[in-house]
């Protein structure tokens, strides 16, 4: 039975050396209400009051990282790598006004040296079964994904498994790699889908060309390819984009003789240079929002529900470890939160307990630094404020006093370099929001 299940899952991992998803959503796609009637997607955006010119977060989605390491716990992706992945993921959401933001629920290590290189057809899907957590998007980071087809090795940078709804990434993927795979999670297909097929499946370049046979009706661009009319038909772009991100395949034609006029910046495409990818179309955003609304956990992710505002996080996240520390400048005041973390099945949500930040002192000696933590209102807090040097040596620690919303650290005679501040919430407090200021004062 297990072997049969693995083989079934392997059907989702078809031959595609860049993403690993060639036809992953075929069966799922056939059921979608926008297939053959894209107006559904625009009506849906109007229904939910979506404004493409205004960034508005509608879904706060937790993700869990599974990091593959050596047997002794060494190697594998660092916290800094994970922070970059999360920053890139949320950056492209914000730039495109998708309505999504993502936060880390948990990072868990899998200490098995032999899993640093995952076999594509068996090991990769099997790992998504063995290690899986409910209520979030599971993301697996490994050093290398091995794939061979008829003796030919292929490069797989990442893939999405529709059976386990999991994302598998090779380390050092492109800055849009995770965003691309998350797009698959929320129902998006490749714009070049079926570009090598005949007229029954290939998307036409023309946006007005319709089916003529008795069995298919409507616009071809709304049924074939990715089924979205506002993503131009395209061949696979991996050798058809120049250094300036211009499309160089104008000589190529579709099955009806029309020359391709493809975009090169779609995040779901495979351009020669992945730095060219930066955008989603309006209908792609509608697909993702619609799919999110159908998700089992949509009621817990949706920010329009007042009870879910506890999951709102600040723009400095993730910053739960020293490696993830965000920068604060001299005299800068930052607004931060201790947000809640959604975990299904629990009456009480888990909480983000720790924030880290870092600052750099100028090239001088005997520098005095004062760090101030302060909540918006005078409430009882249970906060610990700690200062570390770049060697992770604790320099000073200060706990909050009873009924005091102010915690300060003052340290003299510091030398130049980087310093780290750890803010730890020891117990739940009635207010999750807090402000703090940091000042760097140079002694004369």
pLDDT band with cut points at 50, 70 and 90 for residue 7: very low
Q: Is the residue at 240 inside a domain? A: no
Q: What is the pLDDT of residues 402-437, one digit of tens each?
A: 657 788 899 999 999 999 999 998 765 444 555 555
Q: Is the residue at 324 inside a domain? A: yes
Q: Are both 317 and 184 inside the same structural domain?
A: no
pLDDT band with cut points at 50, 70 and 90 for residue 17: low
pLDDT band with cut points at 50, 70 and 90 for residue 349: low
Is the separation of the CB atoms in 324 and 357 below 8 Å? no
Q: Are both 183 and 331 inside the same structural domain?
A: no
**b/e per residue 387-399 (b: at least 16 CB within 10 A):** bbeeeeeeeeebe
Q: In this predicted model, which residue has the larger pLDDT, 372 or 190?
A: 190
Q: Are both 181 and 319 inside the same structural domain?
A: no
Q: What is the pLDDT of residues 30-40, one digit of tens each?
A: 678 999 999 99
What pLDDT does 136 receive?
97
Which stretch of 89-93, 110-114, 151-155, 210-214 has the lowest confidence by average pLDDT? 151-155
**Can you state the angle between helices 2-10 and 123-130, rounded to 10 degrees?**
120
pLDDT of residue 312 exceeding 90, the answer is no
Starting at the edge strand found earlier in the chain, the sheet holding 406-414 runs 333-337, 433-442, 367-375, 406-414
Question: Cα dist. 188→74, 274, 280 in Å?
Answer: 36, 18, 10
What pLDDT does 307 receive?
83
Q: Is the residue at 238 inside a domain? A: no
Compute the distance between CA of residue 402 and CA of residue 170 in angstroms, rounded to an integer: 48
Number of domains in the chain: 2
Compute the distance between CA of residue 319 and CA of residue 316 in angstroms, rounded to an integer: 7
pLDDT of residue 317 exceeding 60, the answer is yes
Q: Which of 199, 418, 412, 227 is nearest to 328 (CA)?
A: 418
358 strand-pairing partners: 327, 420
Compute the distance between CA of residue 122 and CA of residue 145 in angstroms, rounded to an integer: 11
What pLDDT does 430 receive?
44
Tokens of 7: 């083989």
Domain final residue pick, 271, 288, 305: 288
Q: Is the residue at 217 inside a domain? A: no
Percent of the chain residues past pLDDT 90, beyond the cut? 67
What pLDDT does 442 receive?
61
Q: In this predicted model, which residue has the larger pLDDT, 205 or 25?
A: 205
Q: Is the residue at 237 inside a domain? A: no
Q: Is the residue at 261 inside a domain? A: no
Q: Are both 331 and 184 inside the same structural domain?
A: no
Tokens of 267: 């995040």
Q: Is the residue at 248 inside a domain? A: no
C-alpha neighbours within 13 Å on the C-beta side of residue 320: 18
Compute the distance between CA of residue 250 and CA of residue 259 in angstroms, rounded to an integer: 6
pLDDT of residue 16 exceeding 50, the answer is no
Residue 343 maps to which CATH number? 2.60.120.380
Which stretch of 182-186, 304-308, 331-335, 430-434 has the lowest confidence by average pLDDT? 430-434
What pLDDT does 204 receive?
98
Instruction: Round the average pLDDT of the chain to a whole number and report it.
Output: 88
Q: What number is the average pLDDT over the span 336-347? A: 82
Tokens 């860049």 locate to 18
- How big is the chain, counted in residues? 444
Compute the distance between CA of residue 49 and CA of residue 196 in angstroms, rounded to an integer: 38
Domain final residue pick, 288, 323, 352: 288
Domain range for 166 is: 2-188+283-288
Q: What angle do CA 285, 20, 238 make, to 5 degrees?
A: 80
Q: What angle do CA 89, 92, 98 make, to 5 degrees?
A: 105
Q: In this predicted model, which residue has the larger pLDDT, 309 or 317?
A: 317
Is the separation of the CB atoms in 162 and 12 below 8 Å? yes
Tokens of 46: 């109007």
Q: Is the residue at 25 inside a domain? A: yes
Question: Cα dist. 159→105, 123, 373 in Å?
Answer: 21, 13, 42
C-alpha neighbours within 13 Å on the C-beta side of residue 360: 4
Residue 115 maps to which CATH number? 3.40.390
Tokens of 84: 């970059």
Q: Are both 38 and 181 inside the same structural domain?
A: yes
What pLDDT does 441 receive?
62
């Amino acid at each position: 039975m297990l072997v049969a299940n693995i083989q079934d899952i392997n059907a989702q991992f078809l031959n595609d050396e860049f993403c690993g998803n060639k036809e992953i959503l075929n069966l799922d796609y056939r059921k979608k209400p926008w297939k053959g009637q894209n107006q559904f997607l625009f009506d849906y955006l109007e229904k939910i009051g979506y404004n493409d010119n205004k960034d508005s977060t509608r879904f706060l989605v937790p993700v869990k990282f599974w990091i593959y390491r050596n047997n002794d716990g060494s190697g594998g992706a660092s916290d800094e790598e994970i922070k970059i992945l999360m920053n890139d993921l949320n950056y492209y959401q914000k730039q495109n006004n998708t309505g999504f933001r993502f936060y880390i629920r948990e990072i868990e290590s899998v200490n098995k040296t032999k899993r640093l290189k995952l076999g594509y057809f068996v090991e990769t899907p099997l790992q998504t079964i063995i290690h899986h957590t409910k209520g979030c998007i599971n993301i697996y980071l490994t050093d290398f994904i091995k794939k061979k087809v008829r003796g030919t090795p292929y490069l797989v940078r990442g893939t999405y498994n529709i059976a386990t709804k999991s994302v598998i990434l090779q380390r050092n993927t492109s800055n849009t790699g995770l965003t691309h795979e998350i797009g698959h999670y929320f129902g998006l297909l490749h714009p070049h889908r079926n570009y090598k097929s005949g007229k029954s499946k290939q998307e036409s370049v023309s946006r007005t060309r319709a089916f003529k046979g008795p069995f298919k009706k409507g616009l071809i661009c709304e049924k074939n390819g990715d089924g979205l009319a506002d993503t131009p038909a395209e061949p696979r772009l991996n050798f058809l984009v120049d250094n300036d991100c211009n499309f160089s395949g104008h000589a190529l034609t579709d099955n009806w003789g029309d020359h391709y006029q493809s975009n090169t910046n779609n995040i779901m495409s495979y351009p020669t240079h992945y730095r060219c990818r930066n955008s989603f179309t309006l209908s792609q955003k509608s697909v993702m929002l619609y799919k999110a609304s159908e998700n089992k956990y949509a009621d817990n992710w949706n920010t329009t529900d007042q009870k879910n505002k506890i999951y709102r996080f600040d723009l400095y996240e993730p910053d739960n470890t020293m490696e993830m520390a965000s920068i604060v400048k001299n005299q800068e005041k930052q607004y931060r939160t201790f947000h809640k973390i959604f975990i299904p099945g629990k009456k009480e949500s888990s909480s983000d307990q720790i924030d880290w930040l870092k600052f750099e002192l100028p090239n001088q000696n005997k520098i005095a630094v004062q760090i101030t933590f302060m909540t918006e209102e005078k409430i009882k807090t249970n906060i610990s404020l700690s200062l570390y040097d770049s060697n992770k040596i604790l320099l000073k620690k200060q706990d909050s006093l009873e009924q005091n919303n102010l915690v300060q650290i003052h340290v003299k005679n510091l030398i130049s370099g980087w310093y780290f501040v750890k803010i730890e919430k020891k117990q739940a407090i009635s207010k999750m929001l807090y402000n703090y200021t940091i000042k760097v004062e140079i002694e004369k």
